[in-house]
């Protein structure tokens, strides 16, 4: 299967005086009124779900997507961390990036070397 790239033009729908950015109040599916709702919790649960899918025994589309996503996040945090560590000598910030890379894919030891 070959994916094709094409240009998509969207109509310009601007309403004067109203912001197009969605808010928690305008989203009926939001849990803004729920106590204990935290975007960090949602991120952590999504990350845990990805890690669970990536460790599945059977080869499936969900497993491949989860593994590729986690690898991408790992590399996405590791490379800026290496740049901060090696060239810019900003060690404190580099440690934060390495920690995030390790959280994304704790089974991969690259952030420790």
Structure confidence by residue, pLDDT tens digits, 24-64: 554 545 555 555 567 768 888 888 999 999 999 999 999 99
How is residue 106 annotated by DSSP? T
CA dist 69 and 53 (Å) reads: 11
Q: Where do the domains of the chain lie?
A: 39-112
Q: What is the reported pTM?
A: 0.60
Classify each residue of 81-90 as buried b or exposed e, where b means 16 or more C-beta atoms within 10 Å of its C-beta. Answer: bbebbeeeee
Residues 6+ apart with CB under 8 A from 56: 62, 63
> Mapping DSSP to helix (H, G, I), strand (E, B) and coil, where does residue 74 land?
helix
Biggest CA pair distance of the chain = 54
- Quick one: 97 exposed, middle or buried, by C-beta within 10 A (0-12, 13-18, 19+)? buried
**Per-residue confidence at 103, pLDDT binned at 50, 70, 90?**
confident
């Amino acid at each position: 299967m070959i994916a094709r790239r094409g240009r998509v033009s969207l109509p310009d729908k601007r309403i004067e005086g109203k912001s197009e950015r969605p808010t928690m109040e305008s989203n009926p599916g939001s849990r803004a009124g729920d106590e204990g709702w935290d975007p960090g919790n949602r991120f952590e649960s999504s990350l845990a779900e990805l890690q669970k899918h990536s460790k599945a025994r059977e080869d499936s589309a969900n497993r491949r997507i989860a593994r590729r996503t986690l690898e991408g996040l790992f590399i996405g945090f590791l490379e800026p961390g290496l740049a901060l560590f090696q060239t810019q000598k900003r060690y404190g910030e580099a440690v934060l990036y390495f920690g995030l890379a390790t959280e994304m894919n704790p089974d991969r030891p690259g952030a420790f070397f």
